[in-house]
Amino acid sequence: MITPLIPYPCALIKTRKTRILVITDLHIGWEIALSQKGIHVPSQTPKLLQKLKNLVSMYKPEKLLILGDVKHTVATARASEWQDIPDFFDDLKGHIKKIQIIRGNHDGNLEPLLPENIEILSATGTIAGEVGLFHGHCWPSPALLKCKTLMMGHVHPIVAFRDPAGFRITRQVWVKAECDGTKLAEILLQKHRVKIEKSIEETLRKHYRFKLEASQLFIMPSFNDFLGGKPLNKRKASGTGKASWRIMGPVLRSEAVDMENSEIYLLDGTLVGTLNQLRSLG
């Protein structure tokens, strides 16, 4: 169902009816934040657009699904975003039939920046075939739990590698983690004030009419590879080796996802180990 498009930070989901290209975290306008700190970087939006158009040309999807954070500013839009975002999507519309955006935490007041016929979906997510997709800054809809596989963005996952001489590099990665669907379902039912009757599975059948299937979570790398991020394998100052997932969204905070034993893949598909194994390299 899900095919990571090696070596690009995106994936293709094939359903019976359509082919969907999935990306996350464009953060158009991030250069402005750097300029305010005295670091002047030319706009990288044309490069992002060209990379995306090349992928559309190669894989010919019928739909593009963006898992949030189209723009960089959170609640408003800066002057350059008023130009770059409409131009970006006006050009892109000529190359793909349908574009959908799951709202991310940086997408406040995004609607005025978008051309017509681009659909903004709830931050609680959507389902494509047998995959439940959401941004990650807020709780997903319980409806997504009927999917075995969940996929989110938001985290901008990278890992750090340090050699004995102290030289350090970082790399974007995919994260594949086991998910305790029962625990996540219990939390979501409580959030929606649904009383658990007999069992969580039976409650889901009664109120949502589906069987609980969620068992794994993929965290996507950001499509904007200039962003960087906080290395997942960075040790805490206490030396315990366990990270705090508080800033990375409620699903990871809930401990329903086994991040420590998650598998970490480079963009070229190489499995470099589990997150716990990579702690010593961070």
Closest to 5 in 3D by CA, of 264, 263, 268: 268
* 3 state SS for 158-225: EEEEECCCCCEEEEEEEEEEEECHHHHHHHHHHHCCCCCCCCHHHHHHHHHCCCCCCCEEEECCCCCC
Mean pLDDT value of segment 26-36: 74
3-state secondary structure of 52: helix
Cβ neighbours, 10 Å, residue 238: 7
CB 142 within 8 A of CB 185: yes
Per-residue pLDDT, 229: 81
Query: What does each C-alpha distance from 166 to 66, 163, 282 come to in angstroms?
Result: 37, 5, 10
What residue type is assigned to position 217 of the chain? L
Per-residue pLDDT, 236: 61
Q: How many domains does the chain have?
A: 1
**122-132 pLDDT, tens digit each:** 999 999 999 99
In this predicted structure, the answer to whether residue 81 has a pLDDT above a threshold of 70 is no
Can you give the residue range of the structural domain that contains 170? Answer: 2-281
**Range with lowest mean pLDDT among 15-19, 119-123, 269-273:** 15-19
For strands 149-152 and 168-178, give the pairing. unpaired
In this predicted structure, the answer to whether residue 34 has a pLDDT above a threshold of 80 is no
Mean pLDDT value of segment 34-54: 80
What residue type is assigned to position 4 of the chain? P
**92-131 pLDDT, tens digit each:** 999 999 999 999 998 888 999 999 999 999 999 999 999 9
Residue 241's pLDDT band (cuts 50, 70, 90): very low
Distance CA 53, CA 60 (A): 10
Omega of the bond leading into 7 within 30 degrees of 0 (cis)? yes
CB 189 within 8 A of CB 206: no
**202-221 pLDDT, tens digit each:** 999 999 999 999 999 999 99
CB 264 within 8 A of CB 273: yes
Mean pLDDT value of segment 1-20: 94
CB 4 within 8 A of CB 174: yes
**177-190 pLDDT, tens digit each:** 999 999 999 999 99
- By CB atoms closer than 10 A (0-12, 13-18, 19+), residue 237 is exposed
Indicate the pTM of the whole model. 0.91
For the chain, report the end-to-end CA distance as a whole number of angstroms.
Answer: 32
State both tokens at 137: 């800054």
CB 173 within 8 A of CB 157: yes
Distance CA 108, CA 92 (A): 21
Query: What does each C-alpha distance from 221 to 93, 155, 241, 267 come to in angstroms?
Result: 24, 8, 22, 9
What does pLDDT average to over the chain? 89
Residue 38's pLDDT band (cuts 50, 70, 90): low
In this predicted structure, the answer to whether residue 280 has a pLDDT above a threshold of 90 is no
In this predicted structure, the answer to whether residue 61 has a pLDDT above a threshold of 60 is yes
